[in-house]
Amino acid sequence: MRQILVFITRVREGNLTPSISVISSSSSSSVKQNQQIEVRVRAYYNKGVTKNIQVNMGEIQKAAWEKEEEKEEAEAEVEIWKLVFGFVEVAAVKCAIELGIADAIESHGSPMTLSEISSILKCDPSLLNRIMRFLMHRKIFKSVPTSHGNLAYAQTPLSRRLLRNDERSMAAPILWHYSPPMLAPWHALSARVLANGNPPFENIHGEDLWNFVAQNHDYNNLFNEIMECDVRLVMPAFIKGYSEVFNGVSTLVDVGGGNGITLRFLTEAFPWIQGINFDLPHVIAVAPKCDRVEHVAGDMFQSVPKADAIFLKWILHDWGDEECIQILKKCREGIPKENGKVIILDHVMEDGGFKDVGLIMDMVMMAHTNSGKERTLKEWEYVIKTAGFSSYNVKSIHAVQSVIVAFY
């Protein structure tokens, strides 16, 4: 007889009918639902004597299902409340960035008390206390005791990401994505998903993201900060994880290179490379001078400067397949047939440690661009092969992006 182990919380006097709360069984799926089976039950009854009793398998399964349903309902209740107030966490973090809390503690050089922070930042102490209490609960800041027995606020690896001028700062992306113009398109996301829906950003602002940035000085500066932030985070991982991709490359074009910070990283790491920073005229007009980097204005849909290799970092995800194919064809025209390559640094939507980021970025593309999207490996293969490239390879690095190299 198959043995089923049943944990019983209480046993009725006399007939030993079990009242079951938790069940663990072995191979119970092979037992019919309503089959009466004999179960050995060790109950704290009559000095712990083990007795054989009859248990209805259907009742056991029903009890298990009910317990599982209760657990799922409880978890759903917690998760839905997180969604209802999901904006609160980022709003508090944005508040901390705008007030300069992390910057104040960093400048002070040691943990600061509430009164010290509120005095320097000219904040209401009681309101600041509530903000700090929340941020400590989220482990963004931490508290440490002072020599006088008071509490002081100290930095954490998370809070240092809120510094405005730190190498690993993420302040600019937070300020960008949670600014009113960038939040507004999300309210039109459902309209975008409907058949023939208009792109949310253009529908609300009357122009696409790129024209909006070009016409708004403050947002253009913030966008450049975001690009610099991404470069500081991803380029060290890229250089460490795939430096050999630049072997034999003496000239390199960075398409959509912004102010040239990516090429500054690359030309410092690989001194033999001469860089060409290629972007729209209004971007190139304010790009700072850099050794071994030439700034060239133009339109990647029309032509791309010639070089041994062409670099595209987080460019193609802003565009649909047709536009990507057009851009890649222009890039292919700019590289030599022998050993020419296009180096793409972008998301590959496959299972992995950064999968959540890719899924989130895909939603951002839907809200903020007309046709952009994150792509699976199969979708990348489609645009690369359709653009005429003979082959390609993909390499993962310790970053949210992967490296895709397409060969002429």
The torsion angle over the Cα atoms of residues 153, 157, 162 and 164, rounded to 10 degrees, is 110
For residue 326, the 8-state DSSP code is H
- Average pLDDT per block of 10 residues along the chain, 408 residues long: 42 43 42 45 44 57 76 86 90 97 96 96 96 96 88 96 91 95 94 84 93 91 89 91 94 95 94 96 90 95 97 96 97 95 93 76 94 94 96 92 94
Beta pairing partners, 343: 311, 405
CA torsion through residues 160, 166, 168, 169, sign: positive
The rounded distance, in Å, linking the Cα atoms of 96 and 28 is 55
Residue span(s) of the chain under CATH 1.10.10.10 come to 87-168
Report DSSP letters for 370-385, one per residue: SS-----HHHHHHHHH
On whether the CB atoms of residues 334 and 366 are closer than 8 A, the answer is no
CATH superfamily ID and name for 182-407: Vaccinia Virus protein VP39 (3.40.50.150)
The rounded distance, in Å, linking the Cα atoms of 198 and 258 is 28
Q: What is the pLDDT of residue 377?
A: 93
Tokens 């940035």 locate to: 213
User: Of 264, 243, 233, 225, whose CA–CA distance to 343 is shortest?
Assistant: 243
SS3 content of the chain, % helix, strand, coil (to 5): 50, 20, 35
* CATH number for the domain formed by residue range(s) 87-168: 1.10.10.10
Beta pairing partners, 275: 252, 293
User: Of 333, 334, 325, whose CA–CA distance to 382 is shortest?
Assistant: 325
User: Of 298, 290, 296, whose CA–CA distance to 273 is shortest?
Assistant: 290
User: Of 194, 265, 195, whose CA–CA distance to 232 is shortest?
Assistant: 265
Contacts 24+ apart (CB under 8 A), 256-259: 256/300, 256/312, 256/313, 256/315, 257/311, 257/313, 258/224, 258/227, 258/228, 258/283, 258/287, 259/224, 259/227, 259/228, 259/283, 259/286, 259/287, 259/288
Residue span(s) of the chain under CATH 3.40.50.150 come to 182-407
Residue type, 91: A
Q: Does residue 108 carry a catalytic annotation?
A: no
Encoded tokens for 46: 């009559």
The rounded distance, in Å, linking the Cα atoms of 400 and 241 is 13
> In what side-by-side order are the strands of the sheet with 151-154?
112-113, 151-154, 142-145
Q: What is the pLDDT of residue 183?
A: 96
Q: Single out the catalytic residue among 295, 317, 347, 368.
A: 317
The rounded distance, in Å, linking the Cα atoms of 188 and 144 is 44
The rounded distance, in Å, linking the Cα atoms of 148 and 151 is 9
Question: How far is residue 59 CA from its own chain's centroid?
Answer: 45
Encoded tokens for 132: 């700090």
Using CB atoms within 10 Å of the CB of residue 68, give its burial: 0 to 12 exposed, 13 to 18 middle, 19+ buried.
Answer: exposed
The rounded distance, in Å, linking the Cα atoms of 303 and 172 is 31
Q: What is the pLDDT of residue 275?
A: 96
